[in-house]
Amino acid sequence: MVRILTKDRQFEGVLMPSVHTESVVLKLSSGYNVGILKSSVKKTVQLGKRISSLTKPKKHIHVSVKKTVSILHTGGTIASKVDYETGAVGAHFSPDDLIEMFPELEALVNLNSRFLSNMWSEDMRFSHYNTMAKEIKKEVDKGVDGVIITHGTDTMHFTAAALSFILEDLSIPVILVGAQRSSDRGSSDAAMNLVCAIEFMTQTDFAEVAICMHKGMSDDMCWILPGLKCRKLHSSRRNAFQPVNAQPYAEIDYLTRKVHIVTPHFRKKDPNKKLILQLFKDVRVGLVKTHPHMFADVFTTYTGYDGLVIEGSGLGHVPINKIDSDTSEHQKIFAQLQNLAKKMPVVMASQTLFGRVNMNVYSTGRVLQEMGVLGNFSDMMPETTYIKLAWLLSNYPKKVKEMIGQNLRGELSERSLI
């Protein structure tokens, strides 16, 4: 608690953290924050120390008959709690903290919980995927029954895809859990998503990478979604994540805690398997979305890259045809793509998301194949294609052309569902 005097005013409130070095921020008794330029401050008086309302949780005790789940925190809102007296956000990552926030976990499993990073998911890079994978391996080597990754939702499907490729011969479930609304809000989806993920882990023999989020808008059902075939399709709804060209693995009824397996086609737990990490290197892969009125210099940008994914229109098309005087730029696009395809793997995915690339149907697709564009008949999302190409370039650079069309982790469907 401080009193700040400026030339013409006086303020009293709680001193808050500020990212702006030129100002100080106070939380006033009204609950509002005020920013004060440091250059205008004449005097500052400390009035006392404010005691946080965030209490110390009780000790979590491990019970030998329960299964053990490790929760690794990478960021997002799922394990944060706000002190509404000061406005400060406390990062709560210990098992004791989680039991306080989600008391129903106490009856389900023994918890290990630790902090890896606290970052927005849009800031993830390949090195962060490698770090997560190494930490998962540590937990596997300890003999835990499952690992949960708390993660921001914006790029959670990228991370799920990356871990699916990195973790070779995974013998336990690894489930990414996020929240669309912060953990201490009455409308939060955090607790339900976390509980459903743990219920699924303890009741099944699942041993893959998946995502657990709300099935609908109500707090009644969660989905376990394939890590390579789901996507965030809404910016704010609690059921933002949906399966793409696949079915969910399971539904969990939050009210009854019953697990309904939708499709049994997933890898099962096998204690004889030994986890191998096939990590990412710092490769450069581009992701370009085609659109009307494109220009060739968009593709020129990727000349020095290691690979390129194209989000083509429809069945996998790019504007490369000169139809009239207004489409002469398309000849330049054709030339640039042809040049890139000679230097690096160029892979097609469809921006429609649902359905399958088929570059045999129209002449544009056939021409693209002739110039060396890969990905025909793929039903991978552009994001999964991007991750797979980067992973192949990191681990099998001489076999990309051969392996991009092979189903390695369940990323390609043998037949279309829709």
Q: What is the pLDDT of residues 247-256, one digit of tens each?
A: 999 999 999 9
Residue 327 is among the residues annotated as catalytic for this protein: no
For residues 256-261, average pLDDT: 97
Q: Are 238 and 230 in contact (CB under 8 A)?
A: no
What pLDDT score was predicted for residue 291?
98
Alpha carbons 322 and 97: distance in angstroms, whole number:
63
Q: Which pLDDT band holds residue 139 (cuts at 50, 70, 90)?
A: very high
Alpha carbons 380 and 392: distance in angstroms, whole number:
15
For residues 295-317, average pLDDT: 97
**CATH 2.30.30.520 domain span(s) along the chain:** 2-46
Residue 367 pLDDT exceeds 90:
yes
For residues 325-333, average pLDDT: 97
**CATH 3.40.50.1170 domain span(s) along the chain:** 68-277
CATH tag for 68-277 (out of 3.40.50.1170, 3.10.28.10, 3.30.360.30, 3.60.20.10): 3.40.50.1170
DSSP character string of 275-303: -EE-PPPS--EEEEE--SS--THHHHTTT
Q: Which pLDDT band holds residue 416 (cuts at 50, 70, 90)?
A: confident
> Pick the catalytic residue: 154, 219, 220, 253?
154
> Pick the catalytic residue: 74, 77, 290, 385?
77
Q: Are 376 and 369 in contact (CB under 8 A)?
A: yes
Class of domain 285-403: alpha beta
What pLDDT score was predicted for residue 208?
98
* Fold entry, domain 2-46: SH3 type barrels. (2.30.30)
Q: Are 226 and 176 in contact (CB under 8 A)?
A: no
Q: What tokens were used for 384?
A: 């999964």
What pLDDT score was predicted for residue 83?
54
> Pick the catalytic residue: 232, 290, 306, 379?
232
What pLDDT score was predicted for residue 107?
87
What pLDDT score was predicted for residue 79?
53
Q: Are 100 and 29 in contact (CB under 8 A)?
A: no
- Taken as a whole, the chain contains a residue count of 418
Residue 234 pLDDT exceeds 70:
yes
Residue 154 is among the residues annotated as catalytic for this protein: yes
Q: What is the pLDDT of residues 188-219, one digit of tens each?
A: 788 899 999 999 999 999 999 999 999 999 88
Q: Are 69 and 112 in contact (CB under 8 A)?
A: yes
Identity of the amino acid at 291: H
What pLDDT score was predicted for residue 418?
62
C-alpha pair distances (Å), 83 with each of 46, 88, 102, 113? 21, 5, 17, 22
Share of the chain above pLDDT 70, in %: 90
Average pLDDT, the chain: 90
What pLDDT score was predicted for residue 64?
79
Longest dimension (CA), the chain: 77
Q: What tokens were used for 165?
A: 């490729």
What pLDDT score was predicted for residue 18?
72
Torsion on CA atoms 235, 72, 267, 67, rounded to nearest 10? -120
Alpha carbons 96 and 80: distance in angstroms, whole number:
14
Q: What tokens were used for 394?
A: 């990191």
Q: Which is more confident, 52 or 105?
A: 105
Alpha carbons 110 and 95: distance in angstroms, whole number:
9
Residue 187 pLDDT exceeds 70:
no
For residues 251-273, average pLDDT: 95
What pLDDT score was predicted for residue 185?
54
For residues 289-303, average pLDDT: 97
Q: Are 212 and 248 in contact (CB under 8 A)?
A: no
Determine the Cα angle at 326 with ends 314 and 368, to 5°. Answer: 35
For residues 83-109, average pLDDT: 68
Lowest mean pLDDT segment, chosen from 92-101, 157-166, 368-377 = 92-101
What pLDDT score was predicted for residue 103?
79
Alpha carbons 214 and 117: distance in angstroms, whole number:
24
Residue 77 is among the residues annotated as catalytic for this protein: yes
Identity of the amino acid at 389: L
Q: What is the pLDDT of residues 71-84, one digit of tens each?
A: 999 876 565 555 54
> Pick the catalytic residue: 153, 204, 384, 385?
153
Q: What is the pLDDT of residues 6-43, one digit of tens each?
A: 988 999 988 887 767 889 988 887 767 889 999 999 99
Residue 232 is among the residues annotated as catalytic for this protein: yes
What pLDDT score was predicted for residue 21?
82
Alpha carbons 356 and 413: distance in angstroms, whole number:
9
Q: What is the pLDDT of residues 378-414, one digit of tens each?
A: 999 999 999 999 999 999 999 999 999 999 999 999 8
What pLDDT score was predicted for residue 100?
73
What pLDDT score was predicted for residue 43?
93
Q: Which pLDDT band holds residue 285 (cuts at 50, 70, 90)?
A: very high
Judged by phi (left if over 0) then psi (alpha if -120 to 50, else beta), residue 223 lies in: beta
Q: How far from the centroid of its chain's Cα atoms is residue 278's Cα?
A: 19
Share of the chain above pLDDT 90, in %: 72
- Annotate 75-99 with three-state secondary structure: CCCCCEEEECCCCEEEECCCHHHHH
**CATH 3.40.50.40 domain span(s) along the chain:** 285-403
C-alpha pair distances (Å), 354 with each of 131, 168, 229? 32, 27, 10
What pLDDT score was predicted for residue 16?
82
Lowest mean pLDDT segment, chosen from 16-30, 69-83, 147-161, 164-178 = 69-83
Q: Which is more confident, 60 or 185?
A: 60
Helical H runs in 214-352?
Answer: 297-300, 329-343
